[in-house]
Structure 1
Amino acid sequence: MIRAACFLMLLPVTADAACRQALALGLDVSGSVDAAEYRLQLEGLATALNSDRVQQVLFAQPDAPIRISVYEWSGPENQTIILPWTTIVTTDDLDRATDTLLAHQRGTAAPTTAIGSAMLAGFALLRDQTDCWKRTLDLSGDGPANTGPRPQDIGPAQQPPGVIVNGLVIGSGNQSGDDQRIADIKELSAYYRSYVIRGADAFVESALGFEDYAAAMERKLLKELQSLALGQADITR
Structure 2
Amino acid sequence: MLHPVRVLWLSAFVWVVTLLPIVPAQAQTEVDLALVLAVDISYSMDMDEQELQREGFAEAFRSPLVHDAIRNGMLGRIGVTYMEWAGLEDQKVIIPWTVLDNSESLMAFADRITSTPLRRAQRTSVSGAIDAAAKLFENSGLEANRKVIDVSGDGANNQGRPVTHARDEAVARGITINGLPIMLKKPGSLDDPDLDIYFRDCVIGGQGAFMVPAREKEQFQQAIKTKIILEVSGLLSPPAPLVTRAQSRDARADCMAGETRWRDRTGN
Task: Report the TM range for the smaller structure's normalisation.
Answer: 0.7 to 0.9
Q: Is the 8 A contact 2:77 2:100 kept in 1?
A: yes
Q: Distance in 2 between matches of 1:87 and 1:188?
A: 32
For 2:90 and 2:36, the matched residues in 1 are separated by 16
d(CA) in 2 for partners of 1:89, 1:21: 11
Q: Does 1:120 align with 2:128?
A: no
The 3 A distance-change label for structure 1 pair 62 and 97 is: farther
Q: Which amino acid aligns with 1:142?
A: D
| Structure 1 Cα separation of the partners of residues 170 and 178 of structure 2 | 17
How many Å separate the matches in 2 of 1:68 and 1:200?
A: 19
Deviation at 1:45, TM superposition (A): 0.4
- Please tell me whether residue 19 in structure 1 is matched to residue 50 in structure 2: no
Specify the SS of the correspondent of 1:131.
strand
The alignment's TM-score, normalised by the length of structure 2, stands at 0.71
Q: Alpha-carbon deviation of 1:156?
A: 4.3
| Aligned counterpart, 2:143 | 131
Contact 1:123 1:160 in 2 (8 A): no
Query: Structure 2: how far apart are the matches of 1:131 and 1:228?
Result: 20
Residue 232 of structure 1: aligned partner: none
Shift of 1:60: 2.3
Candidates 220, 225, 229, aligned match of 2:232: 225
| Matched-pair contact (CA < 8 Å) for 2:70–2:76 | no
Q: Percent identity?
A: 29
Name the residue aligned to 2:155.
143
Residue 124 of structure 1 aligns with an amino acid whose one-letter code is: K
Which of residues 78, 81, 105 in structure 2 aligns to 1:93?
A: 105
> Does the aligned pair in 2 maintain the 1:126–1:160 contact within 8 Å?
no
Q: Does 1:77 align with 2:89?
A: yes
The aligned amino acid for 1:173 is K
How has the CA–CA distance of structure 1 residues 94 and 15 changed in structure 2, closer, same or farther, with 3 Å as cutoff?
farther
In the alignment, structure 1 segments of 5+ residues that lack a partner are 1-13, 230-237
The total of aligned residue pairs comes to: 208
- Structure with the bigger RCO (C-alpha within 8 Å, sep 6+) is 1
Q: Report the CA distance between 1:84 and its aligned residue.
A: 0.6
The separation in 1 between residues aligned to 2:201 and 2:34, in whole angstroms, is 24
Alignment of structure 1 residues 1-20 onto 2, 5 Å: 16-20=28-32
Cross-structure match for 2:46: 34
Aligned equivalent of 2:114: 102
Question: How big is the alpha-carbon RMSD for the aligned residues of Structure 1 and Structure 2?
Answer: 2.5
Matches for 1:161-176 after TM superposition, within 5 Å: 161-174=173-186
In the TM superposition, residue 213 of structure 1 has moved relative to its aligned partner by 2.0
Larger radius of gyration: 2
Paired with 1:142 and 1:108, the residues of 2 have a C-alpha distance of 13
Distance 1:62 1:92 in 2: 20
Q: Is the 8 A contact 1:170 1:210 kept in 2?
A: no
Q: Match of 1:50?
A: 62
In 2, are the aligned partners of 1:205 and 1:216 still within 8 Å (CA)?
A: yes
